[in-house]
Amino acid sequence: MEKSVVVSHVTKKYKMFNSNSDKILDLILPKGYGKSFYALQDVSFDANKGDVVGIIGVNGSGKSTLSNIIAGIVPPTTGQVTVNGEASLIAIQSGLKGELTGRENIELKCLMLGFSKKEIKDLAPQIIEFADIGDFIDQPVKSYSSGMRSRLGFAISIHIDPDVLIIDEALSVGDQTFADKCLEKMNEFKKLGKTIFFISHSIPQMKKFCEKALWIQYGQVEGYGSMKEIMPQYEAFIANYKKMSNEEKAAFQEKMRARRTAEV
């Protein structure tokens, strides 16, 4: 099987400060000051061409951080990501420039990817048609609703023909008709043997669309395998957590917090 994405020992650390004076101490002291928070800790896995991987995990586990790292938007603190080809991320907070209009954003993204003026002229109408946001296409993106941003982001990403597509919650803000249209496009993508990472809070959507599941649990890989194998484990964890008393929940959260924090 040809590998399309290899993530090797990726850790993402953020500094945490309790006050501004801590920030200043961090700048002054040679060893730094404050605490570090691990958004991701030693994450390793790989995906083959044609894999459709659902990334699952509770809020704050590190799913979006991982998406951004695979897409090359955020660098890992340590570790390596190898992507065979071009990766494109569609997220609610996608890389659209708020001051530019939808049309200008399309042109900018295509230019950044090295498309020629002629190619952009051919592609732009297709993207605009798919996004289907009417006259808003000539308005600054900052005036868009989250659903409109998602529509434009999805339309751009799907038409620039990336090898790896990462969809982070982008289908949760639009209406059902648009989500269905996107799922149809994603199926076409799947058939072309491209790799897709999909993040959604809709478990039925994940089960329907993804063959594999990557379970990120408080910054670490808890499981990676077929959706059939991993999803029941995740659902069992959620069910167990719900049954815990408030004290047990607090103790568990404290344990996870301790696992994710370190002195600088």
Ligand X SMILES: Nc1ncnc2c1ncn2[C@@H]1O[C@H](COP(=O)(O)OP(=O)(O)OP(=O)(O)O)[C@@H](O)[C@H]1O
Residues near ligand X (CB under 6 A) are: 14, 37, 39, 57, 59-65
Choose between 57 and 162: whose C-beta lies nearer to ligand X: 57
Number of Cβ within a 10 Å radius of residue 35: 15
For ligand X, which is the closer residue by CB, 93 or 101?
93
User: Taking the complex as a whole, how short is the minimal distance between the CB of residue 91 and ligand X, in angstroms?
Assistant: 10
Query: Closest Cα partner for 152 from 114, 98, 111?
Result: 98
The CB-of-20 to ligand X minimum distance in angstroms stands at: 16
Distance of closest approach, residue 247 Cβ to ligand X, in angstroms = 22
Identify residue 205 by its one-letter amino acid code: Q
Residue 68 or 105: the one with the smaller Cβ distance to ligand X is 68
- The whole-angstrom separation of Cα 86 and Cα 65 is 18
DSSP annotation string for 84-140: SS-EEEEETT-S--TTSBHHHHHHHHHHHTT--HHHHHHHHHHHHHHH--GGGGGSB
Distance in Å, CB of 111 to ligand X, minimum: 28
Nearer to ligand X (CB atom), residue 34 or residue 85: 34
